Each structure stands twice: as C-alpha cells, then as structure tokens.
C-alpha cells in the first residue's frame, strides 16, 4: 500500500491508465523498431532513399491529425508490449515488480549502437532512469523526480543479447530515496551499475 494517500496528485501528474489500442499498435511498434535499426544501418542507392522518404512522409501525414496530449496516446501505456509501448525506450519487459526490487529484461539493437557494435554510453542512463522511476512506484514511495544519476560502466554493453536489470531502494530519508540498479549479461557479468537520488515532488511541482 502506498505510504502517501495523495500519491496521484503530487506535482499535478495526471493518472495514466493502461491503454488498449488493439493489435495494430503492436504491429506498428515492431515495424518502427525495425525501421529505426535500418535507418542507422541501411545503405541503399539514392533512388531507394527517395522512395523511403515518400513512405515516411506518407506515414507522418496519416498520423499527424491524431496527435494527442501526453497520457492520451497509447505510447508508454501498454504494459504488455516491450518498452510499455514507447519507442523512446529500448524494448524491455518487467519480470519482477514489488517493494523488494524491480527486475526486467532488455535487448538493445543496432539503433542503440554508439560505435564498434557496442551500446552507446548515453543510452544506459536513460534505461537506468526509467528503472529508478519504476522502483519508486513499486515501493509505494511518492511521485518523485531524479535529483542525480551516476553510472559506472564496467564492461561493453552488447546488442542483440538479452540482458537483465535489477533496481532497488537502498535508503529512504524524508523526501529522498537513494536508488541503485545494475545490469548484467546472460553469464552474470556486471556490465554497468547506477546509483541515484529520487526526490518526492511537493504539491504543484512539475
């Protein structure tokens, strides 16, 4: 049970209910993730790029009339889909979500490469920050924002490999939650670890 009875009202956050956009949205996400990979790896002739641009502009024209406010569209509101239906996030799946810890699997792809087929170092803070938010929610702590986030890179993070991430609250003090997380490969090797500070929002804070 949440220790904060006004949890949903802190900072003016809206209540984001799960969305059910239908199977077409899942197909769209799968195609878009592959398109992202190809956008950074394909090397066709100039005529093919012209055709691809035509299709991309057609897609934008199809979706543009339906742009909606935050929390209305299904992105990030479909827990059954990888990354909860958000193209911003790598495709993760949550396997444990309780007060003890949050655990998930994630697989990075060509889209996330920084160089030499390794995941870009800047992608990992995004992933860890998202995990920190999940940890806060899973423990019933009040809605919080990130005060700081520190990442230690222990090994190169590979693509096309299912990795595991675990996050937990190390210590809580008033409005502050000190959170830790670690990411490991299938052999249990530590790839990166993070620690951060999550600070509870006061009423009215954005």
Mean pLDDT calculated for residue range 78-85: 96
Please determine, for residue 191, whether its predicted confidence score (pLDDT) is greater than 60. Answer: yes
Res 23: pLDDT: 95
Mean pLDDT calculated for residue range 120-140: 96
Res 8: pLDDT: 56
- Is 117 in the same domain as 206? yes
pLDDT band at 186 (very low <50, low <70, confident <90, very high): very high
Mean pLDDT calculated for residue range 170-196: 97
Considering the chain, what is the average pLDDT of its residues?
A: 93
- Is 116 in the same domain as 165? yes
- Is 136 in the same domain as 56? no
- Is 93 in the same domain as 173? yes
Query: Degrees (nearest 5) of the Cα angle 124, 78, 106?
Result: 30
CATH no. for residue 113? 3.10.129.10
What's the rounded Cα separation, in Å, for the pair 91 and 73? 18
Res 13: pLDDT: 64
Q: How many domains does the chain have?
A: 2
Mean pLDDT calculated for residue range 97-112: 98
Res 43: pLDDT: 98
% of the chain with per-residue pLDDT over 90: 86
Res 16: pLDDT: 79
- Is 41 in the same domain as 65? yes
The residue ranges of DSSP E strands in the chain, in sequence order, are 92-97, 102-106, 113-115, 118-119, 144-153, 163-173, 176-184, 190-200
- DSSP 3-state of 56: helix
- Is 206 in the same domain as 113? yes
pLDDT band at 70 (very low <50, low <70, confident <90, very high): confident
- Is 201 in the same domain as 103? yes
Give the other-Cβ count within 10 Å of 184's Cβ.
17
Res 133: pLDDT: 95
- Is 102 in the same domain as 140? yes
- Is 121 in the same domain as 23? no
pLDDT band at 205 (very low <50, low <70, confident <90, very high): confident
- Is 69 in the same domain as 101? no
148-160 per-position pLDDT tens digit = 999 999 999 999 9
20-34 per-position pLDDT tens digit = 999 999 999 999 999
- Is 69 in the same domain as 116? no
Mean pLDDT calculated for residue range 110-128: 97
pTM: 0.91
């Amino acid at each position: 049970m949440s220790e904060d009875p006004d949890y949903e009202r802190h900072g003016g956050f809206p209540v984001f209910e799960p969305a059910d956009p239908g199977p077409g949205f899942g197909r769209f996400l799968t195609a878009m993730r592959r398109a992202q990979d190809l956008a950074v790896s394909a090397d066709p002739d100039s005529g093919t790029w012209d055709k691809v641009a035509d299709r991309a502009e057609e897609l934008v024209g199809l979706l543009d009339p339906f742009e909606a406010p935050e929390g209305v569209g299904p992105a990030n509101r479909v827990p059954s889909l990888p990354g909860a239906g958000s193209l911003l996030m790598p495709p993760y799946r949550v396997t444990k979500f309780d007060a003890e810890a949050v655990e998930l699997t994630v697989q990075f792809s060509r889209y996330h490469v920084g160089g030499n087929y390794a995941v870009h170092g800047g992608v990992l803070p995004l992933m860890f920050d998202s995990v920190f938010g999940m940890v806060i929610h899973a423990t019933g702590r009040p809605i919080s924002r990130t005060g700081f986030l520190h990442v230690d890179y222990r090994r190169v993070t590979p693509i096309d490999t299912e990795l595991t991430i675990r996050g937990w609250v190390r210590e809580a003090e008033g409005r502050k939650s000190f959170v830790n997380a670690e990411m490991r490969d299938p052999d249990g090797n530590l790839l990166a670890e993070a620690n951060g500070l999550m600070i509870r929002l006061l009423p009215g804070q954005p």
